A and B are shown apart, each in its own frame.
Chain A
Amino acid sequence: MDARRMSRAVPRVRQVGFFTPNTPVQQPRPQSAAPSSESPPLSDSPASNSLSPVMIPPPRHLSDNLGGRTAAVPVPGRENSGELPTVGSYNPSESVLWLDSPPRSRIGDEELSEGAESSLGWYRRSNSAKFASSLPSGGFNLSTVKHPESVAAVEAKNPLPGKSEAQKEQASSSKPLKAKTTKAERRALQESQRAAKAASKAEANKSGTAGGAPSSKPMKQPPLKKDGPPVASSIAASERIGVDRSVEKERKKDLPPPRKQFDDESRGGRAKRRSVLNQPEARNRVELFRHLPPHKNGTQLPYLQSKFFELQEKHPAVYKVGLQYLAGDLSGGNARCIAMLQAFQEAIRDYSTPPEKTLTRDLTSKIGGFVSFLIECRPLSMSMGNAIRFLKSRIARLPLTLSESEAKTTLCSDIERFINEKIVLADKVILRHAATKIRDGDVLLTYGSSCVVEMILLYAHELGKQFRVVVVDSHPMLEGQKLLRRLVVKGLSCIYTQLNAISYVMHEVTRVFLGASSIFSNGTVYSMVGTASVAMVAHAFRVPVLVCCEAYKFHERVQLDSICFNELGDPDAISKVPGRVDVNFLDNLTDKQKENLELLNLKYDATPSDYISVIVTDYGMIPPTSVPVIVREYRKEYLLI
């Protein structure tokens, strides 16, 4: 009981350290332990009460701590305390940023910790005697490379200032009285900070170069902060792995964080303010899909191009890839992933650690900034999320002893290896496996344009197998036509048809080969829209369905339908059919007609696992039920390479 009280007192104590001198006084203190430690509010308070964090509070007190600290962040307090003269200039905006989005506590940790590092006050405190004793490396310097584990240990015991601002948690904390009194204040503070943040935001947007480190912050933080988009969250997860927090965090990491929901008014609005691109207006968006980001079409291309010089910290290579995503020049899971990784590779080569920063942390946030930019251009695929997660974990696990250039070459070769092993070689293995399933006289059906399936067909053709290919296509992508052309040029005998005629052609088909964008751990295949229909019809006609997919595309998420998570394409693409001028029914609609009409262009759908006969991966041919096994084993492997 005593220990608990002590630990509970910690937040208040810390609060004192960062708070305006008079606030703690206003708070009534029912607990006995608190007043004594809290009495010196001004200068040395952190050092004196750092005694309690060493006592390793039980994990649930962490939340209490967090709650307490929320209030501690306020900027004026910091400045008043006089401890942080150097960082006072830019910290305000940062802390405000953290403060502003309450529910993101989990993911927020990353940049918070990094922000904390840069805040001198924290170091000063950590250098104090008590604290230093708990650290293996004996205090931090900004220039020295720190070992992440030690940092993590410190963080676990002595949570960072201004980390999470979960007001609710705080409310539910064991001291309601205290919470009550401070709440109003906090709200007032938050409000003022929000305003400050908005101002700083605008400033930052106007001139990307608001000076040194802070300039990068506004751009960098958005993606990490919004706890929605799959990739950003998975990155966060990987970062967490790298930093290795407390046990509680470790447990949380296993569970993929919720995706960003765009129908959430408050958060959607924030995302909008933050985003580089203009969000298309929400008119005529399909009601069922309001939670998904609207499609950004290529018309924003010139706009983005014009903003190139404002988005300074975007590496040109990344920028180029982003534009390619936006324009739709680059499609296909593997192609997009490889392009992204290569762009990151270039960015890493050109990277140099800014003074007073560590490579591990700065580069991670830098990559995070790139990723958020790419997400804005087009939502990332699961496979890319996995690749980013890999990269981040590699960065986090860089040995501290490496010099910058060594670290950079290590990372570059890591990326190279990822591309080679997980994509190029994996495809080769898949070819071998799949080719054993093709016999002479077969009629193979494929849908859309999957590069793995294409390679399989060409490989089997090279092996001299006699077979025919049915290429099924669907409006509006019509990717099958490109595949058809490549196959026919290579001398394969092809039948081309539209998805609607699938029942007609399925009679003579003996195998169905499908590609996948991702495979979820419940065996659901997430792939180009229409794949589910093909698999369903094949299943109804008792034709085996082989899904060819590299294992790096597996994801531990589960999904049952195609609505909760998906990607929206350009709705206007539906009303036009390339090469068919006679299809112009929707050209001249009156406003009233447009009001009632919604166009839905889904990009993906989820194929239930019962339609899948076998999944061909680089680990062999497995049933859909074995996906979670691969996910588990595989994740372990690529994180520990």
Chain B
Amino acid sequence: MPDTQALVNDFLNKLKKRKIEGSQATAKQTAELLRSVISQTRMPYTNQAAALIHSVKAVGERLIAANPVELAVGNVVRRVLHIVREEDLSLTTAAMAGLNLSAESDDEDDTDRDNHPALSAAAIAAASRSTLRPPSLQTLLEDVPDSAAVPHTSSSGGDSEGKSKSADKSSRSRKLKHDVIEAVNELIQDISTCHELIAEQAVEHIHQNEVILTLGSSRTVLEFLCAAKEKKRSFRVFVAEGAPRYQGHLLAKELVTRGLQTTLITDSAVFAMISRVNMVIVGAHAVMANGGVIAPVGLNMVALAAQKHAVPFVVLAGSHKLCPLYPHHPEVLLNELRSPSELLDFGEFSDCLDFGSGIGAPLLHVVNPTFDYVPPKLVSLFITDTGGHNPSYMYRLIADYYSADDLVLERRTTSGN
């Protein structure tokens, strides 16, 4: 327990100091941290799922508070919670099925199911959910008052089979933890391989002699373009440099190293060049449930220009970037201001930054936001590791990954406390 605490604190520090770059790294590290939290959690006799959920939430809440803008953290926390619920549900269903069918069905069936921890569990969960709790508006409404619906069912399931022996129970508890950790491992695997899954689809979208524009640097975009290049497609890439971080330079360098014809342009030339571009491919910071994108700064401008010239605007996003929240005023609330030193040399403007003279209010403000919000109407297509999707479909895709109970993490815990 203490060493998890240390791990958590370390990670919190990193998040607060913005030491972790990129949502993929963040997501992966969050998942790894939660895995160790789960493995360290002492399991009670009853209501184990609730205990797991509680401990994950407690940590997750702090992580989210440490960097509320890094939505990947919240996404992973919700994903883990969802995994716990699903695994618990599948175990319960299995137990109930075993109970109901104990007369005719043999134990092998049960063990068979248990041998496929993650995938079959999910499948069973989906199946059982349709029988037990159809994902309807009704369940959403029902779930809000009794917050721990899943634990209840599990406990009631446990109560209902009160006659079952304690040994069976202990094996089940171990099984739950084991299954959850297995599933989290799978999640980590998913996060680290999402690039390949997305890149695999590149050939379906990039044709010969295509002209592609991108802004800033994104590993997903790099892999995507290189995958198409490896398939012997020859095309041209315009890279906008993405001031003030100029990550575009980095991407351009990577691309030329891999032998792609690359033209580095200034951000200001995007509008001039977009009329000669066939497709805009960009990475995202996060994808909101309404299909809006939190993206590196400058992309809203690019998306508007693309719309003006009817150029497809394609967003690549791994599933860990899909956020179940709906954005409200995201330009400000889901944004972060970076240091002005990236824009202005303090030494040069030191005389203008003098606060002592004059009215007292500083005359000069420097605004250096990190993110842009691209509304869903400007996005033509999302390419995730599960394929291409319309912006209007994102809410449904996202519903598969998260359970409705976890959408509002913070408020629930505060009210609970």
* Chain A positions near chain B (C-beta within 8 angstroms): 286, 288, 473-476, 481, 484-485, 488-489, 491-505, 507, 528-530, 532-533, 536-537, 540, 561-563, 566, 574-575, 577-580, 583, 585-586, 589, 593-602, 605-606
Task: Give the nearest-CB partner of A599 in chain B.
Answer: B264
A-B contact pairs, 10 of them (CB 8 A): A496-B367, A504-B332, A528-B268, A533-B268, A533-B270, A561-B275, A574-B241, A596-B262, A600-B269, A602-B268
With A and B bound together, what is the CA distance between A584 and B318 in angstroms? Answer: 29
B260 interface neighbour in A288, A530, A596, Cβ under 8 Å: A596
With A and B bound together, what is the CA distance between A540 and B378 in angstroms? Answer: 12
B276 interface neighbour in A563, A586, A595, Cβ under 8 Å: A563
With A and B bound together, what is the CA distance between A505 and B361 in angstroms? Answer: 19
Is the beta-carbon distance between B272 and A606 smaller than 8 angstroms? Answer: yes
With known contacts A536-B308, A561-B272, A602-B272, A500–B242 Cβ distance under 8 A: yes
Which of A491, A577, A597, A606 has the largest number of chain B CB atoms within 10 A? Answer: A597
Is the beta-carbon distance between B344 and A530 smaller than 8 angstroms? Answer: no
Is the beta-carbon distance between A488 and B343 smaller than 8 angstroms? Answer: no
With A and B bound together, what is the CA distance between A595 and B263 in angstroms? Answer: 11
| Set of chain A residues within 8 Å of B257, measured between Cβ atoms | 593
Q: Is B297 an interface residue (CB 8 A)?
A: yes
With known contacts A529-B269, A579-B345, A498–B244 Cβ distance under 8 A: yes
With known contacts A504-B335, A540-B304, A497–B266 Cβ distance under 8 A: no
* Chain B positions near chain A (C-beta within 8 angstroms): 241-244, 246, 249-250, 252-253, 255-257, 259-273, 275-276, 297-298, 300-301, 304-305, 308, 331-332, 335, 342-345, 348-349, 352, 358, 361, 363-369, 372-373
B249 interface neighbour in A474, A491, A563, A575, Cβ under 8 Å: A575
With A and B bound together, what is the CA distance between A593 and B260 in angstroms? Answer: 9
With A and B bound together, what is the CA distance between A596 and B298 in angstroms? Answer: 25
A601 interface neighbour in B261, B266, B331, Cβ under 8 Å: B266
Task: Give the shortest distance, in Å, between B244 (CB) and chain A (any CB).
Answer: 5
Question: 8 more A-B contacts (CB under 8 A) besides A500-B301, A530-B267?
Answer: A530-B268, A574-B265, A580-B246, A585-B250, A585-B253, A597-B262, A597-B263, A598-B262
Is the beta-carbon distance between B249 and A537 smaller than 8 angstroms? Answer: no
With known contacts A500-B301, A596-B262, A597-B252, A494–B364 Cβ distance under 8 A: yes
Is the beta-carbon distance between A500 and B275 smaller than 8 angstroms? Answer: no
With A and B bound together, what is the CA distance between A574 and B239 in angstroms? Answer: 12
With known contacts A495-B365, A580-B342, A596–B272 Cβ distance under 8 A: no
With A and B bound together, what is the CA distance between A475 and B265 in angstroms? Answer: 10
With A and B bound together, what is the CA distance between A580 and B368 in angstroms? Answer: 15
With A and B bound together, what is the CA distance between A492 and B361 in angstroms? Answer: 11
With A and B bound together, what is the CA distance between A605 and B276 in angstroms? Answer: 14
Task: Give the shortest distance, in Å, between B363 (CB) and chain A (any CB).
Answer: 5
B372 interface neighbour in A492, A503, A566, A599, Cβ under 8 Å: A503
Is the beta-carbon distance between A605 and B266 smaller than 8 angstroms? Answer: no
Is the beta-carbon distance between B352 and A489 smaller than 8 angstroms? Answer: yes
B241 interface neighbour in A288, A475, A491, A530, Cβ under 8 Å: A475
With A and B bound together, what is the CA distance between A601 and B265 in angstroms? Answer: 6
With known contacts A583-B249, A597-B262, A536–B268 Cβ distance under 8 A: no
With A and B bound together, what is the CA distance between A497 and B266 in angstroms? Answer: 16
With known contacts A504-B297, A597-B262, A598-B262, A474–B267 Cβ distance under 8 A: yes
Task: Give the shortest distance, in Å, between A532 (CB) and chain B (any CB).
Answer: 4
Task: Give the nearest-CB partner of B362 in chain A.
Answer: A493
B271 interface neighbour in A504, A536, A598, A601, Cβ under 8 Å: A536
| Set of chain A residues within 8 Å of B366, measured between Cβ atoms | 495-497
Is the beta-carbon distance between B253 and A586 smaller than 8 angstroms? Answer: yes
| Set of chain B residues within 8 Å of A580, measured between Cβ atoms | 246, 342
